[in-house]
Structure 1
Amino acid sequence: MTSDLSHYSDRDLAALALRGRQDAYREFLTRYKVPVFRLIRSNVGDEGDAMDLTQESFVAGFAALGRYDGERPFRVWISRIALNKCRDWARRRAVRSFFTRALPLESAYDVAGDSPAIDVEAADRAELRRVRKAILDLPGNLREIIVLRGIEELSQAETAEMLGVSEKSVETRLYRARAKLRAMLGE
């Protein structure tokens, strides 16, 4: 029962998937796995964690597919799930970080051994890392706006819908995020 589903709408694909068509799930992955991965990687910074969170996002999305509103783009819906997974990941990371810092001094030697080697790469790669770090250091609500508008190039309306806020809020947060980034980067 495998056929080319690339011309099907998101709503039609969801209906097929809910009826047990595995090729419909594969089509969703084909369409949206890369943009969801980019969105997550831009939020968490680590490629391995981003791959895990992408998988978790699709598993959760497919499990909740019955609640998907076919009137809206699937990309917006699955991206909201992905952003929630990023928020959960950040909360878990903050808790782990607290306990790591609370380790006895004897454990500090193990942590110190994980520091990165001296950077000998080209200046533009170093600058890219500096900007990525600054983006990761932004508060979550500002980081999401920068990622969605600046990196994923979503429209203001798409970003507002994805985050469940007004377009004016998107505009305000984007202004604040850019100002904070400029200050962090010393520009």
Structure 2
Amino acid sequence: MNASLARCSDAELAALALAGQQSAYGELMRRHREAVFRVARGHVGDATEALDITQETFISAFTALARYDGTRPFRLWIARIAVNKCRDWARRRAVRRFFTFARPIEEATAVADNLPTPEEAVGSQAELAHIHAAIASLPGNLKDVLVLRTLEGVSQAEAAQILGISEKAVETRLYRARNKLAEGLRDGAADRV
């Protein structure tokens, strides 16, 4: 890591990257990749898919870097891109699922999800997987707010800015998301007993 780049603000790094300094891209990614991954993981519930979404987010962000407004926080800008990439992923997944179910049953085994069931996992890994799955199963508008506020710790105002909704809508959706998540976890626990 370049010590001089570490002292730069995100806006300065964006300007350096646009001016052709490749290491500035690396520093921006180093600063924000964990947060982007957490947003993606919260949305999709799968670490491998979250890594793919994280890569797509940075590719899109760096491609659109000239449109970044340096007076605004970079983390909010890239979080918005990550949320959009997660929504794209969910739409693609819905289309894949539709076509998977449209195939003859003997062909469907080739595209079936072969991931282990929660019962096959042990201890805290099974519980963590259950929580990620419960979060991933929430409706998109509730999941967005829950991931940003709870997992990423952004403020209510920042979440409203990222999602393009009012702060009151953030508060309402967070309340609903928490209730639905608690209900889903309760139901899931009863199913596993």
| TM value normalised by structure 2 | 0.88
Please state how far the C-alpha of 1:127 moved relative to its aligned partner.
2.6
Percent of paired sites with the same residue? 56
SS at match of 1:4: helix
Tell me the equivalent position of 1:121: 122
Tell me the equivalent position of 2:83: 83
Q: CA RMSD in A?
A: 1.9
Tell me the equivalent position of 2:50: 50
Distance 2:57 2:26 in 1: 14
From the superposition, tell whether residues 112 and 94 of structure 1 become closer, same or farther in structure 2 (CA, over 3 Å): closer
- Counterpart of 1:121 in structure 2: which amino acid? V
Tell me the equivalent position of 2:6: 6
Please state how far the C-alpha of 1:129 moved relative to its aligned partner.
2.1
Q: Does 1:147 align with 2:142?
A: no
Please state how far the C-alpha of 1:7 moved relative to its aligned partner.
1.2
- 1:107-186 aligned within 5 A: 107-111=107-111, 114=114, 116=116, 118-119=119-120, 121-122=122-123, 124-186=124-186
Q: Is the 8 A contact 2:100 2:108 kept in 1?
A: no
Distance 2:185 2:107 in 1: 33
- Counterpart of 1:36 in structure 2: which amino acid? V
Tell me the equivalent position of 1:32: 32
Please state how far the C-alpha of 1:76 moved relative to its aligned partner.
0.6
Q: Which 4+ residue blocks in structure 1 deviate beyond 4 angstroms? A: none
Unaligned runs of 5+ in 1: none
Identify the range of structure 1 (147-156 vs 101-110) with the bigger mean alpha-carbon deviation.
Answer: 101-110
SS at match of 1:186: helix
| TM value normalised by structure 1 | 0.91
Per-residue CA deviations over 1:83-109 (Å, capped at 9, x if unaligned) read 111101110000000111111022244
Q: How many residues align?
A: 185
Distance 2:81 2:63 in 1: 12
Identify the range of structure 1 (15-24 vs 87-96) with the bigger mean alpha-carbon deviation.
Answer: 15-24
